[in-house]
Structure 1
């Protein structure tokens, strides 16, 4: 029996089954008035709202703005985070100065800094990108530094024995060994980029999916609010799957790729 169940659970139908069950329970609760449909609209109403939004340009234009902000903040944070992580792992002096700063800000909720960014940069894209940048920066720093610092000495000794120069050691030994940790940090940063993009747009923007969700909720259009949330959830899920595919192709040589 267990052998028969495993293929079903690993198939696309099996993975979608929990979502289907939740949707059916949600629809049943709404149909039998177990929940107030004014505050939690049924899946049918949400689906109708999704169709209505997709037929117009409002959701598409705001989604493009959100993706642009999330992508820019993620790219800048990842590049800076990898560089800082490499510096922390290879330079004891730099690590001594940077560790207290990274440790002190890592657990800080980045959304708490949005009001401060509003004072500095005003309402708009700059504030959102700065919040996303900071949220993506720290996991990339920590994961990169951890990946480089955990490089086995035998790999370094082997590279030195084959004549690898000290300047090339970083790119040929340390960075390839740290790639699994870097991709793990990138996946965390990807999730943070969407969270901070939505939350910053709710507070400090006049457009974007976050502002759209806030406006629908404020006006009581909860079916359209849930529709906008569903759209960004689908986009975030697709982005995460694409990143996993990229990770699997980039780490074919590593044992961690087998689980992808």
Structure 2
């Protein structure tokens, strides 16, 4: 079985598919999914999705691209994370690609999420784009390794992957790894320890080959696993087993779904 470690099935363009989304997951041996929060106003929608489906978990956090937000506090995030279906803090991090100018507010927001994760004992979901050095620096300064977490939708270099793993983080690969021109990322997929790998869709975005350009969905995470298996010269069953066990270990679900 496969687990989609990062998706946004609460977004209207996916939620409107209803039961068909979950039927497709079952047909493709995708047993569970983590529905990831991007801002607090929409968080009730995220947790409602998790409450409605036994095989869906939730996170709580504010994405770095959401500039005009009331900043979350450590106490607020910790309180929301008490919900039994919430297994992570985030997604959080830094994005210097989409936004320009003084981004100190992003860095402070990231620090707040790390502190909340350490306080509540739940791992972080980290987004980083064009900001790897600052992301790793802040993780180290705030002792993110104590919470652990995942570098989601990883597109960085081998050196960044190694540095994140050294800080007790996992590397999650999305449909991007199936793209023909993603040669550097394919090499990361070949070389990182299998016991530190997760797979995801980030749906509704970034559909893997052969669905590139179409709307993504959790069922397609199987294609990510199949491509990684081809790159590493191992069976897809081995990738499925490892990434499922890693998900359970990271998000403290051993004995719950594994």
Short-chain TM bin? under 0.3
Q: Which has the higher strand share?
A: 2
TM-score (norm 1): 0.23
Bigger radius of gyration among the two: 1
